[in-house]
Amino acid sequence: MENIRKRILKDRLFTLIVIVLSFTACIPLLAILGFIIKNGISSINLDFFIHLPKPVGEHGGGISNAIIGTFIVVGIAFVIATPLSLLAGIYLAENKKNFFSDVLRVGIDILASIPSIVIGIIAYLWVVKPMKSFSALSGGIALAIIMLPVVIKSTEETLSMVPDSLREASLALGVPYFRTILKVIVPAGLSGIITGILIAISRIAGETAPLLFTAFGNPFMNLNVTKPVNTIPLVVFNYSTSPYEQWHKIAWAAALVLIAIVFVFNFLARIISKKWKTKF
């Protein structure tokens, strides 16, 4: 009896340790969130979302241009990266073992590990210099390069999970290969693909380094993709490194907005992956 009691006690103790440690891992997240909300919430009001930044010394003003700019740059990245990533992901899922797909896989892993600031420099050399202007387009291209490997990987993984029996069911009905992929394989993995895209978007929405010498930043509203554009991460960077107390507040508030946007995308991704999941 004594022995069993000891075992039960040990078991409980271990469970307790595991729970405590896993909560410890969440402390940084909660601390960051709490700190940003505490510092940022006071500057957030309707004006913050619909007004342009004001010069130092004047009170009020907002970051409407940066919010719009973020969506423009991320939108450009999405439009460029999604079709390429889907095609590459489909190719990799369909060709598990051949020379070219192995090379492609290694290439994607390397691309994923290139620091984002290096990608920013490349975009500067390839796009900004020839166009002779910082631009939303160059920022979007830089972010698209960061987005590519993320979406390719998630697409490949999702499509690899689609059972072969479905492919066979379709082919046995006399459906050509490309139609089988488009109408059977991709729809079966659609929720996973969309989830991957949303996660990638929430990842690039917060990128700052590659935008420093591409999108560059702009105190005014700009909807022209060939001209410099402001984004929320750039606001955080520029305003928090300024010497003005009032700008620091705006930087905190911008950080809060950025985190909220990222959260929304993450949340959407979770919902879609749960609700739309295809049961095989």
Partner 1 sequence: MENEVLKISNFSAGFGQSAILRNINFSVFQNRVTAIMGPSGCGKTTMIRCINRMHELSPAAYYSGEILLHGQNIFSMDPIIVRRRIGMVFQRPNPFPTMSIYDNVISGFILNGIKLKKEQKDQIVVNSLRKVGLWEEVKDGIYRRGTFLSGGQQQRLCIARALAMDPDVILLDEPTSSLDPKSTLMIEQLLEELKQTTTIVIVTHNTAQAARIADYVAFLYLGELIEFGPAKKIFTAPENKKTEEYLTGKFS
Question: How many residues make contact with partner 1 (CB under 8 A)?
Answer: 22
171 binds partner 1 (CB under 8 A): yes
Choosing from 84, 175, 225, 262, the residue that interacts with partner 1 (CB under 8 A) is: 175
The phi and psi torsions of 113 (rounded to 5 degrees) equal: -95, 0
Choosing from 3, 165, 178, 275, the residue that interacts with partner 1 (CB under 8 A) is: 165
Per-residue x/- track, 250-279, partner 1 (CB under 8 A)? ----------------------------xx
Please identify, using beta-carbon distances, which residue of 59 and 275 lies nearer to partner 1.
275
34 binds partner 1 (CB under 8 A): no
Choosing from 174, 178, 245, 275, the residue that interacts with partner 1 (CB under 8 A) is: 174
d(CA 68, CA 74): 10
Q: In angstroms, what is the minimal distance from the CB of 190 to partner 1?
A: 8
Contacts of 249 (CB under 8 A, 6+ apart): 39, 40, 42, 43
Q: In angstroms, what is the minimal distance from the CB of 101 to partner 1?
A: 13
Tokens of 146: 């960061």
Rg (CA), the chain: 23
Q: Where does this chain touch partner 1 (CB under 8 A) — which range of 86-94, 107-115, 165-173, 212-220?
A: 165-173
Q: Where does this chain touch partner 1 (CB under 8 A) — which range of 70-78, 143-151, 162-170, 254-262?
A: 162-170
Q: In angstroms, what is the minimal distance from the CB of 83 to partner 1?
A: 21
Q: In angstroms, what is the minimal distance from the CB of 213 to partner 1?
A: 44
d(CA 272, CA 95): 27
Contact 146, 203 (CB under 8 A): yes
168 binds partner 1 (CB under 8 A): yes
Angle (nearest 5°) at CA 241 between 124 and 146: 35
Please identify, using beta-carbon distances, which residue of 111 and 166 lies nearer to partner 1.
166
188 binds partner 1 (CB under 8 A): yes
SS3 of 104-137:
HHHHHHHHHHCCHHHHHHHHHHHHHHHHCCCCHH
Window 74-103: residues binding partner 1 (CB under 8 A): none
158 binds partner 1 (CB under 8 A): no
Q: Where does this chain touch partner 1 (CB under 8 A) — which range of 59-67, 84-92, 179-187, 239-247?
A: 179-187
Contact 258, 236 (CB under 8 A): yes
Please identify, using beta-carbon distances, which residue of 26 and 178 lies nearer to partner 1.
178
Applying CB under 8 A, which residues contact partner 1?
163, 165-166, 168-176, 179-180, 183-184, 187-188, 190, 278-280
